[in-house]
A and B are shown apart, each in its own frame.
Chain A
Amino acid sequence: MTEGPVGTGGPESFRGEIRDWLASHVPNVPLPSVDTAEGFERHREWERELAAARWSVVSWPARYGGRDATLAEWLAFEEEYYAAGAPVRVGQNGLFLLAPTLFAHGTPEQQDRLLPPMARADEIWAQAWSEPEAGSDLAAIRSRAVRADGGWLVSGSKTWSTRAAFADRAFGLFRTDPAAERRSVSKHRGLTYLLLSLRAPGVNVRPIRQLGGGTGFAEIFLDDVFVPDADVVGAPGDGWRIAMSTAGHERGLSLRSPGRFLAAADRLVALWREAADPADSAMRHRVADAWIGARAYHLHTMATVARLSPGGGAGSEKSVPGAEASMGKVFWSQLDLALHETALDLLGPHAELRGDPWLEGYLFALAGPIYAGTNEIQRTVIGERVLGLPR
């Protein structure tokens, strides 16, 4: 599919190596929920174990703790990771959203300073996009950063910040040119991409209990929080363009690799073999559709990878362009729900029992059509930018 990786014997040997490592390292008992203080730290320890064996960021350059893996190898890693039932990636916001942005827009100093602790989970990142009055209309954000000596003073509030309850740092967009906001045609201007410490003076984090009971996201209140110039990504005022490149990563290839859906589809088929009434053709056909959907997503991703290759790893500038990524986002979020809803229907009255992986996965999947840009926003993007329909 693509040229061989650095330092290994090709994609299949790469796959074999990660499979063997996972088989001897994945915890036998699932870790406590990542959305509890204890679970968060247990997941951080797991990330450190991955990092020590150089499995935490395979697609990154070796100097940052990676293996210079090709996209095809990264996908193989993802398939093996989810097939092995390995823990949730607690560092996912940083690894899959911030890191691609830093590779594309960060300075060498920022890359050298920020990427290694991210790879080791010494610094776990939360995202700080949404605000109480800026959800789907992200450019309506009001949190401000005003010029200070050697940096910026940030004030305002962010919400639905994934992992913020326990994370160390956060990245997000802040308004640095209030005049631009008043010119309504240009509210996308005057925004700046900033990195801040959640431990800094003036930061107050309030965890939010989610539908499933965990505190997977939080509100962040900011009161004159100092951000040094070194923690501005890209040029001040250019934050929207930079954030949109990150949004493309979130919607597309990097956040939702096909591995997790293939693994879920295989588990669904296994459950069907065990639990289904053979005469129930409607159920059989739903399982077929879910399995076909997972395979379609996998094949589509592989075709995209083949089109984008040759090139560097997934960490470099080679993710799916935004508008096309929107199609993938709608597809995988609906697929994820279909896989889990079908499984719950197969489980019958047992489906309401908390703790069952299908139910917990379902509660997580419910958020898919909402986060990373709602599916309605994505459909509008597809209509206007893929199909060329009038605005």
Chain B
Amino acid sequence: MSEFAAILHDMLGAAGVPDAARRWADGDRAPGLALWRRLAALGVTGLAVPEKRGGLGASPADLVAACAELGHHAVPGPVAESVAAVPALLSALDEGALDDTVLDDPAAPGEWLTRLADGELIATLAVPPRLPFAADAEAAGLILLAEGDVVQVGTVPGMGTVAGMGTVAGMGTAVASRRSVDPARSLSLVAGQRVLARGAGPAVARAFELGTLACSAQLLGAGRALLEASVRHASTRAQFGRPVGSFQAVKHKLADVAIGLEFAGPLLDAAAAALAEGSATAARDVSAAKVVCCDAAARAASAALQVHGAIGYTAEHDLSLWLAKVRALVPAWGTQAEHRDRVMAELAGGVSS
């Protein structure tokens, strides 16, 4: 674990995240938003923001390390969106390096980036059809809608105007949003309000890769937390006069979870490296990482529920926070089928490892 990840792990471990997630689910986002401000103070929200805009300009590998910890602790809020995808999108627009991009408000991306890094702004986005909903729009001060190569500032009809500025807390009502399987997550259909950029296809594509990478890292971290919880429970819960973890059926199930998580990590690291290098195989590598992180986390979730038994099936037990998070993130940022198809589309061309 990197030093940064260790600091983040310690901070989140002491921050009462499960309680913040439960209150977030009940519509009281204050503790969760306070947590996001602490993440900003540590630099997490500025990892993908360039240094000239007040961020850290960190590598995708650092983003992976941080998002894995956010997943490990089941932090509520639009993590992949606000920490990875939106900063990547805005950075590309801010650079103006994309020849065909036309910006209607050239100053806006840079200002938003600074506010993201400062923790004054939380952002979310929708990229239909693959990412049809914006996550946690109620908590976001900026909602983006990317369709094709057009990026718009969006709004959630019925939720009030989202100007992209102003306060981030308690912005709207929950009327316009739909509930996710993860109670600490809402889903909103976004309507375009005004065009921000045209010809932004490459910027949107890169944002999608980084969002997928961050989501994969969250899943891997959540999977690790589920395995740790399972080992703790199986070591203390006794039946037939023995800890249930001494039974081979339990031991072998958790061994398979450990193997899945162990072999997912290197694919995630390779995807981060490919994105950092701008490698031609980056899309394939990101998809491979998403496929295995989803599978490993889903296996961890199913084993964790089974090992915990009835207590794990309750909303009271904190395990439910991770189970729901994994179930919500598995189909987000591209389905397993789409990602396997992206891998095979690359291999169909004869490109090899």
Contacts and interface: CB of A to CB of B under 8 A. Distances in A.
A41 interface: no
A273 interface: yes
A379 to B, nearest CB: 4
B353 interface: yes
Interface string B333-351: 0001100110110011010
B255 A379 contact: yes
Nearest to B259: A327
Interface in A273-288: 273, 281, 284-285, 287-288
Contacts of A284: 340-341, 344
B251 A389 contact: yes
Interface stretch (B82-90, B153-161, B179-187, B260-268): B260-268
A300 to B, nearest CB: 5
The DSSP consensus for interface residues of chain A is helix
B306 to A, nearest CB: 15
A81 to B, nearest CB: 16
Interface residues of A, number: 39
B99 to A, nearest CB: 34
Contacts of A327: 255, 258-259, 262-263
A379 B260 CA distance: 13
A62 interface: no
A299 B270 contact: yes
B263 A296 contact: yes
A284 B341 CA distance: 7
Contacts of A145: none
B59 interface: no
A289 interface: yes
Interface in B277-319: 288, 291-292
Interface in A260-278: 262, 265-266, 269, 273
Given A297-B263, A298-B353, 8 more contacts: A295-B267, A295-B288, A296-B267, A331-B263, A379-B252, A383-B250, A384-B251, A387-B227
15 contacts: A273-B350, A284-B341, A287-B347, A288-B291, A288-B341, A288-B344, A299-B266, A299-B270, A300-B265, A331-B259, A383-B252, A387-B227, A389-B231, A389-B246, A390-B235
Interface of B: 227, 231, 234-235, 242-243, 245-246, 248, 250-252, 254-256, 258-259, 262-267, 269-270, 288, 291-292, 336-337, 340-341, 343-344, 347-348, 350, 352-353
